[in-house]
Structure formats: C-alpha cells, structure tokens
C-alpha cells in the first residue's frame, strides 16, 4: 500500500487534534507537524467537509475533532484523502491466482485500518 504525502499529512494533523485539549489553529498544526501551511489549510478543509473535524474562526477558534478520537479510524481519514480504491488489476493466464492474493491483501488492509483509531495511535508510547 502506498500512502500519499497528502494522507500522511492528514493523519498527522488528525493526531495533533486528537491530543489537543482545546481548538488548534491551522498555523499551529502546520508548524507542529511540519506540514506546508497551504497544504495544511487544504487538508483541513477536506477533513471539515467530510465531517471529521469542526472549526471556528477567531482568536478563540481553531480546529477540533468532530467525534471522539476513539470513534475515528485511520480508514476514515484515508477515505477522505485517497478516495475509493480502484478495482484490482486482472491477471491473465498463469498469473490469474494473483488476483485472489491481492483481494485478500486488500481485505486485511481494510480490516486493520478500519479497527485502528486515532485514540489507539495517540495513546501508544512512542518508540523513537
């Protein structure tokens, strides 16, 4: 599975929001997660439109999660940034059984990303 920079940034922004005790301004997310500011603004807009985050303008404003971190899966975020996965390629002749392998792999991937939440990620100790 390839994860685009856009998706990596979106996941980082969501983790930042999951650990924030109050609304966070876009410039703080961008600086804290080393995301280019314009890219951050675009990602936050998409996440807000998808209903994963909320926002309010002004000095007391910022962004926050629309639901508890335990209710937002990695799959939820990836669906916003990556969209639907195209159907697996067809494999002709002797390679035909590979189609089943790819289908199973996609199923495992979807199951894992669908069960890991932002809370799971942000409450685990760092291994750096």
What is the tally of structural domains in the chain? 1
Tell whether 128 is covered by a domain. no
Tell whether 15 is covered by a domain. yes
Dihedrals phi, psi of 14, to nearest 5 degrees = -65, -40
CA gyration radius for the chain?
17
Tell whether 78 is covered by a domain. yes
Report the predicted TM-score, pTM, of the whole model to 2 decimal places.
Answer: 0.86
- Which CATH number fits the domain that encloses residue 19? 1.10.10.10
Tell whether 108 is covered by a domain. yes
Supply the pLDDT for residue 39. Answer: 93
Which domain range does residue 61 map to? 5-123
Instruction: Let me know: does 63 contact 53? Beta carbons within 8 Å.
Output: yes
Tens-digit pLDDT profile for the chain (128 aa)?
Answer: 678 999 999 999 999 999 999 999 999 999 999 999 999 999 999 999 999 999 999 888 999 999 999 999 999 999 999 887 666 678 889 998 888 888 898 889 989 999 999 999 999 776 65
């Amino acid at each position: 599975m390839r994860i685009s920079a856009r998706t990596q940034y979106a996941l980082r922004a969501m983790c930042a929001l999951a650990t924030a005790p109050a609304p966070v301004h876009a410039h703080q997310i961008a600086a804290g997660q080393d995301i280019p500011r314009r890219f951050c603004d675009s990602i936050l807009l998409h996440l807000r439109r998808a209903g994963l985050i909320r926002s309010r303008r002004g000095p007391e404003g910022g962004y926050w999660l629309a639901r508890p971190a335990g209710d937002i899966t990695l799959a939820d975020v990836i669906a916003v940034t990556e969209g639907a996965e195209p159907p697996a390629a067809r494999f002709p002749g002797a390679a035909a059984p590979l189609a089943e392998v790819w289908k199973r792999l996609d199923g495992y991937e979807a199951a894992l990303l669908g069960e890991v939440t932002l809370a799971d990620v942000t409450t685990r100790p760092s291994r750096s």
